[in-house]
Amino acid sequence: MRVKLFQNIYKTFRIKYNHMAVFTQVFNPLTAQNEWAVHNDDYDYDLELTCTGFGDMLHDKERNQKYFKALRMAIARMHADGREAHVLDIGTGTGILSMMALTAGADTVTACEAFMPMANCAERIFTVNGFGDKVRLVKKRSTEMRIGVDMPQRANLLVAELLDTELIGEGAISIYNHAHDELLTDDVVCIPSKATCYAQVVQSPLASQWNSMKIVADLDGNILLQPPKDVLQCKGDAAVHDMQLSQLSLENFVPLTKPAEIFEFDFNRKSKTPVPVQRQQLLEMIALQPGSTDLIFYWWDISMYSGDNLVLSCAPYWAHPDYKSRNDIIPWRDHWMQAIYYIPKPQHISRTGEKFVLSCNHDEYSLWFDVHNTLKSNTTVSRHACTCNLHLAYPRSRIGQMNQSVRNKKFLNYLENNLTKDSQVLCLGDGCILGVAAAKMGVTSVVISENHYFSKRFMESVVKNNDIKNVEFIENVNSLPYSKLSQFTHIFGEPYFFSAILPWDNFQFGHLLQNIIEKLPPTVKIAPYSAKIFAVPVQFTDLHKIRTPVQQCEGFDLKLFDRMIKHARAKLPDHKVEAQPLWEYPCKALAKPQELLHVDFHNFKKEQSNNGDIQAESDGICNGIALWVEWNIDGGSGSKSIVSTGPVEPVEPGKFIKWDMFVRQGVQLFEQGYPVINGKSSIRWALQHKPTLSKIEMDFNVNV
Ligand SMILES: C[S@@+](CC[C@H](N)C(=O)[O-])C[C@H]1O[C@@H](n2cnc3c(N)ncnc32)[C@H](O)[C@@H]1O
């Protein structure tokens, strides 16, 4: 899901130009504008390549070793039974599973790969590893393959890794069904042989904040904004919310049931019937304790080889079969996480032992859930969809952020202290719900620039349901005439922009402001007043692995793959820093945070070129730099003026950092970890802010 989001934002439109260059339209999140970039012909797919979770997958030792072991067992058994092993590897990627199959003694191997840069990479990796003439590589989708054209005969051993966090989100069901019908023998052995999905019903007020709007109250607790009726009645978005559930602390949820097996997917098709593309399962659940059936925790496991107990589990640590007392022995992976599904209308369970019904549903690509008081047979529960625009408009992190009362109170405090009945407020940013709250404070008018269709519909319903009369929505702030601009007494932003990926992409507030600042009265008050970018060198427990070169995997040389990813990343704009929800990825601080940039929105045009050193204040391995923005609402120095998107508690060198859970931070991951020594090592940094070019560039170098 995360990759998909990134890909959408950086959608590239390719126009081929005289066979030498490719023009791509690259989205600049700082300006929300598409810009043209010219690349060599081989540019294609760079972003797609760098966004794939291949690196992380290939670092997943448990996965690799269990695939290898299952292949060895299956091929040995076939040979012991006097049968040859003809292997089909669907979605070969780097070619790793095909090379394992050949090493395990397969008689023939056909590998297919639909993604052309990966297929080309696999071809070269096969050669480097001495398998060049041993694998039949088919550069197309398995569903386009034909026996007699792409393979001489049906395969009797299928190895494939086509699963995502949701299990079926990458289309595994139809790929398996097609393969069984067209490409495999009746007695085929599949690796993995089956998958089992699990669900656990949970109450979690914290996680529920990612799913609905809460009341917005002023500092005295008086209600400023009620969630509209549409929102309260909305069933929400059925889409999966993938998450590193092991990082959700135990005090943040109450399990209402034990984990239950909900679906089994028989990839081997032992029953000789197709893998179902749609199913409903009604399960009677017995409550472990009273509570609200807010959501489902979901994960799956796979049995690698039929008849053997070789299982790979994606359970969070507390439900993992290998968990005894320490969670650090549970393998970490980012390519398969766990997930949350929100229940459309949570039921209240009043006592331990109460029975209720969990309705589990899946179609070809997704799952969804509901909870009922009683068993209603033959009720198909259709996949629910958002009807209130909130879920259509905003990502889960923004919905969660809207509900953060401590954060909201700081902005509301400013608004209460600064607005009067004569105030005329202009809000810059998307989904500026606190701007609507400002209107409720009795000001003359609030103008909100909002050009996102669903966000505008949602905001309009908040306005209507709260009987607010003094709000006007406009599409483009630049279209406001001087006569209007010169009347504003306050400019306000939370600031949040749909287009923002990194925290400082919300500096778009400054860009919008810059276009109109000369037409605003000199007395206009601007909030936020300023913003700072902070950095802290860290030692990640695991996250760094997603960018660490693979080099060797189970004895196979994958350096060519590393090189391909490196080249692809280097060609991307701003490739070094990426956005991650750092609360899901534990890291220890190796120093105190340092300010890298201070921008004043009254003078946003000013170019800055800053540099400095961050002295290590703890021994450790520096494998990344964590970055965030601190907004200063009114230019004050007290904590009431500051809204941070980073740590929620003071950072102490040598200790784990506690991060804001409702926003993504920036992170630069190093390809290798640097051993740093307290008082001796330092991190040299340089930052350039070129507001006129809408660019913020950073560079970090560790001196050990
Ligand atoms: C999760 S990766 C696994 C790569 C490799 N097998 C491994 O285990 O490291 C899945 C790969 O399958 C490819 N793929 C997905 N569906 C496919 C299909 N129907 N035919 C061929 N390739 C496919 C994707 O492009 C991707 O490279």
For residue 623, give both structure tokens: 């494998």
Q: Is the CB of 118 under 6 A from ligand 1?
A: yes
Q: Which residue shows structure tokens 């640097």?
A: 674
690 strand-pairing partners: 695
> What is the rounded average pLDDT of the residues 349-371?
97
Please identify, among 388, 415, 443, the residue that sits at the C-terminal boundary of a domain: 388
Tens of pLDDT along 227-246? 999 999 999 999 999 999 99
114 and 224, same domain (yes or no): no
Q: Is residue 203 located within the same domain as residue 345? A: yes
**pLDDT at residue 680 above 50?**
yes
User: Rounded to a whole number, what is the largest CA-CA distance in the chain?
Assistant: 90
Query: How far out from the chain centre does Cα 539 lie?
Result: 21
**319 & 425 share domain:** no
Which structural domain, as residue segments, surrounds residue 160? 54-194
For residues 64 and 175, state if they share a domain. yes
User: Is residue 88's pLDDT more than 80?
Assistant: yes
Evaluate if residue 202 carries a pLDDT over 80: yes
187 and 72: one domain?
A: yes
Predicted local distance difference test score (pLDDT) of residue 157: 98
Q: What is the pLDDT of residue 678?
A: 98
Using alpha carbons only, give the angle 451, 457, 458 rounded to the nearest 5 degrees: 110
Average pLDDT estimate for 53-68: 91
How many domains in the chain?
5
Q: Examine the domain organization and report whether 514 and 610 are in the same domain.
A: no
For residue 263, being part of any structural domain is answered with yes
Domain assignment present for residue 493? The answer is yes
CA angle (594 as vertex; 588, 596 as ends), nearest 5: 125
Sort 158 into a burial class: Cβ within 10 Å, 0-12 / 13-18 / 19+: buried
Residue whose CA is closest, atom 23 of ligand 1?
91
In this structure, the residue with its CA closest to atom 12 of ligand 1 is 91
Average pLDDT of the residues of the chain: 92
Could you give the percent of the chain with pLDDT greater than 70?
91
Q: Indicate if ligand 1 lies below 6 Å from the C-beta of 91.
A: yes
Tell me whether residue 569 is in a domain: no
Mean pLDDT on 95-105: 98
Q: Which CATH number do you get for residue 629? A: 2.70.160.11
Domain identity same for 159 and 104:
yes
> Would you state the pLDDT for residue 23?
46
Model confidence at 326, pLDDT cuts 50, 70, 90, reads low
Residue 21 has pLDDT above 80, yes or no: no
Nearest atom within ligand 1 for CA of residue 335: 1
Same domain, 207 and 318: yes
Answer yes or no: do 142 and 94 share one domain.
yes
Q: How many residues does the chain have?
A: 704
Contacts of 591 (CB under 8 A, 6+ apart): 536, 537, 614, 615, 616, 617, 618, 653, 683
341 and 220 part of one domain: yes
- pLDDT of 13: 29
Residue 28 has pLDDT above 90, yes or no: no
Question: Is 123 annotated as catalytic?
Answer: no
- Report residue 398's pLDDT band, with 50, 70 and 90 as the boundaries: very high
Is 576 a member of any domain?
no
What H or E segment, with its residue span, contains residue 299? strand 295-303
pLDDT of residue 45: 61
Contact (CB, 8 A) for 616 and 539: no
Among 338, 370, 388, the domain boundary falls at: 388
What average pLDDT does the segment 680-687 reach? Answer: 98
In short, whether 113's Cβ falls inside 6 Å of ligand 1 is yes
List pLDDT tens digits, range 436-478. 999 999 999 999 999 899 999 999 999 999 999 999 999 999 9
For residue 30, is pLDDT > 80?
no
Is 232 a domain residue? yes
Q: Quick one: pLDDT band at residue 307, thresholds 50, 70, 90?
A: confident
Residue whose pair of structure tokens reads 């070169």 in the numeric block = 549
Provide CB contacts within 8 A for 445, sequence distance 6+: 424, 425, 439, 470, 471, 472
Exposure of 201 by Cβ count < 10 A (0-12 exposed, 13-18 middle, 19+ buried)? buried
CB-based contacts of 243: which residues, under 8 Å, 6+ apart? 337, 338, 339, 340, 584
Taking the CA of residue 63 as reference, the ligand 1 atom at the shortest distance is: 8
Is 547 inside any structural domain? no
484: left (phi over 0), alpha (psi -120 to 50) or beta: alpha
* Nearest Cα residue to 255 out of 263, 264, 245, 241: 245
CB distance 216 to ligand 1 below 6 Å: no
Do 222 and 139 share a structural domain?
no
What is the mean predicted confidence (pLDDT) over 557-583?
A: 88
**Whether residue 402 is found in the same domain as residue 304:** no
Per-residue pLDDT band at 195 (split at 50, 70, 90): very high
User: CB neighbours of 501 closer than 8 A, spacing ≥ 6?
Assistant: 6, 9, 29, 579, 664
Give 585 Cα–ligand 1 centroid separation in angstroms.
26
What integer is the mean pLDDT of 342-355? 97
Verify whether ligand 1 is closer than 6 Å to residue 95 (CB atom). no
Banded pLDDT at 568 (limits 50, 70, 90): confident
Q: How large is the average pLDDT for residues 649-654?
A: 98
Report the alpha-carbon distance of residue 251 to residue 328 in Å, rounded. Answer: 19
Task: Provide the H-helix boundaries in 490-623.
Answer: 508-516, 559-570
Q: How many angstroms separate the Cα of 77 from the Cα of each of 63, 82, 204?
A: 21, 9, 48
Which H or E run includes 559? Answer: helix 559-570
The pLDDT > 90 percentage for the chain reads 85
Facing residues of 367 across strands?
A: 362
pTM for the full model?
0.92
Q: Which of 171, 194, 217 is the last residue before a domain boundary?
A: 194
Nearest-atom number in ligand 1 for the CA of 143 is 19
Whether 553 maps to a domain, the answer reads: no
**CB distance 98 to 75 below 8 Å:** no
Give the model's confidence band at 270: pLDDT under 50 very low, under 70 low, under 90 confident, else very high: confident
pLDDT at 41 over 60: no
- Which residues is 612 bridged to in the sheet? 685
Least confident among 7-21, 260-274, 379-393, 490-504: 7-21
Query: Domain for residue 546, yes or no?
Result: no
